[in-house]
Amino acid sequence: MTLESLPTELRILILRALDKQSLHNAVLASPTYHHTYLLARRALLHDLVRCHYGLVDLAEPVAAIRSEGLYADVSANKQKIISLLDRRRRHRELELSGKDPFAGAPVSIEESIKLLHMYCKLDTIVTAYCRRAPCPPWMDQDTWKQQYLPLQLTETERARILRALCRLQTYYNIVGAREWVPENESGSQRFRKSSTWYRNFTTNEIWNLFFGTMAPWEVEEFGSVWMFARDQYQGMFDEIACEFPRSDPRWKALRPNSLPAEMMDLYPSEGEDEPANYSYSDYCNHLVSLGPCFLYKALKQPTYKSRRNLLARNAIASKSSFMDVVEVIKDPCPLLYPADKYEVPDIARVLPTMPAMQQPTHGWKQHWHRDGIVERVVFATRPRVTVDEDALEAWLGEDLERTIGYFDGWEWGYSILESTRFPVGYVMP
């Protein structure tokens, strides 16, 4: 009996057991299996999506593809954005109740294909992370590069990075900037700038809609991947700086007229020397705000010149970033569903029983809770702080420390790496 002569149900089961490349080969090699694929392609593609994203909740990549074009600086999009992010956080409840069976899953073949295409782009960035993972503080750079890179990620480490990339894409689809496109057929140009989302949303609204639904360590996971993306652009600009400085006419000649004027052009310094702080670094924050899929595009450029030209067409100086949002939210906000499950009295007992993707890393626990026991999630419980339930409201502002905020650990992924990577006896700063 040949494979083609098997009953349709068995052929479908065979196809569902194949990886993407094997499925592709089988469908191309056999008209029978091509016909079988057409009969069951929705389920087959859905299975592939689940397989590729692994431990990542599918609601995250689904929100990323559905948020495309929902710019927060367009007032008409406000309710659509609120609805999208609400579906993302409540997808399990909506699916179980039958009110929205596809709140956190692809609703069509087209969405599954979009998810697979996005996965390929994000996977390229994960691979770049493995090759260029930042060196942790307990090791010297040479040893790290020679003995540990490329990094062999665990399934959970990989899923943390992939989850953060999906969230970065959703976040910057909404509050980020637009990529440069050539003039349209009418020849008109649109003056380009960074997003003005703050005209339609307050910082607190954006925080609650997006980050308030995450555990604090997941926000720092997001921050660690944000730092990695920024570092990739910094490396690209270091390469450009070897060709010519930012003030060079050759750099300016590469840039479209629709870009904002450079500060150095508006306020030229006296003398011929370039200001010490006039570097390409000012562009990095804006480029990160174009989202991970743009970073993929930059990484995959075939030549140095094509990558340089892509950056030149899209680079806008910007000091503001995700970091500023973290700094603005000074007071610990209450966690919103589904993250509110962490605000329970016996979290120290409950947390270790949760799946690995719902727990903080060893580094996060040790940084915010010195003994590694998480007795509260929003507030740090370091030994130097006495946690007294009755006196909590009377704490002075400088004594109250929330469990989120930039520190050097973001630069080497302390909220991503597993405990097995930490040397015995190492204590987080």
The residue with greater pLDDT, 317 or 2, is 317
pLDDT score of 385? 44
Look at residue 268 in the predicted model and tell me its pLDDT.
56
Amino acid, single-letter form, for residue 352: P
Fill in the DSSP letter of residue 355: -
378 plus 319 within the same structural domain: yes
Model pLDDT for residues 167-201, shown as the tens digit of each residue: 999 999 999 988 988 765 444 555 566 678 889 99
List the one residue out of 182, 149, 168, 156 whose CA is nearest residue 219.
168
pLDDT, greater one: 256 or 407: 256
Q: Are residues 39 and 63 in the same domain?
A: no
| Choice between 321 and 274, residue whose per-residue pLDDT is larger | 321
| Residue 12 pLDDT | 75
What percentage of the chain reaches a pLDDT higher than 70? 86
Q: Which two tokens stand for residue 228?
A: 């990695």
Highest mean pLDDT among 41-50, 80-89, 380-389: 80-89
pLDDT band at 134 (very low <50, low <70, confident <90, very high): very high
What pTM value is reported for the model? 0.88
pLDDT of residue 191: 53
Q: Looking at residues 64-80, what average pLDDT do you find?
A: 96
Owning domain of residue 3:
1-53
Claim to verify: residue 334 and residue 374 sit in the same structural domain: yes
pLDDT at 384 (0 to 100): 43
Rounded distance between C-alpha atoms, residue 307 and residue 236, angstroms? 8
Residue 400: pLDDT band by 50, 70, 90 thresholds?
Answer: low
Domain boundary among 28, 53, 78: 53
Domain annotation covers residue 189: no
Judgement on whether residues 23 and 167 belong to the same structural domain of the protein: no
31-35, 183-187, 296-300: segment of lowest average pLDDT: 183-187
pLDDT tens-digit readout, 250-293: 999 999 988 887 766 655 555 555 554 468 999 999 999 999 99
Q: How much is the average pLDDT of 355-362? A: 95
Are residue 146 and residue 64 in the same domain, yes or no? yes
Asked if residue 392 has pLDDT above 70, the reply is: no
* DSSP secondary structure string for all residues of 268-337: PPSSSSPPTT-SGGGGHHHHHTT-HHHHHHHHT-SSHHHHHHHHHHH-------HHHHHHH--SPPPP-T
Distance between terminal CA atoms of the chain?
65
Q: Is 156 left (phi over 0), alpha (psi -120 to 50) or beta?
A: alpha
Are 62 and 116 members of one domain?
yes
In a domain, 127, yes or no: yes
Residue 272 lies in a domain: no
Total domains in the fold of the chain: 2
Angle between helices 109-132 and 216-243 (to 10 degrees): 70
- Pair 58, 25 in one domain: no
Q: In terms of pLDDT, which residue wins out, 383 or 82?
A: 82
The residue among 26, 358, 404, 397 whose CA lies nearest residue 224 is 404
The pLDDT score that the predictor gives to residue 383 is 45
Residue 426 in domain: no
pLDDT averaged over every residue in the chain = 86
Q: Are residues 49 and 60 in the same domain?
A: no
Question: How confident is the model at residue 269, as a pLDDT?
Answer: 56
* Co-location of 82 and 202 in the same domain: yes
- As a whole number, mean pLDDT of residues 224-253 equals 96
Q: Which of 125, 120, 124, 115 is nearest to 47 (CA)?
A: 115
More confident residue, 398 or 161: 161
Query: So what's the pLDDT on residue 183?
Result: 66
| One domain, residues 49 and 87 | no
Let me know if residue 187 belongs to a domain: no
Do 73 and 130 lie in a common domain? Answer: yes
122 and 24 in one domain?
no
Residue 88, in any domain of the structure: yes
| 344 is a domain residue | yes
Residue 54 has pLDDT above 60, yes or no: yes
Query: Does residue 240 lie in a domain region?
Result: yes
pLDDT at residue 263 in the model: 63
pLDDT at 387: 46
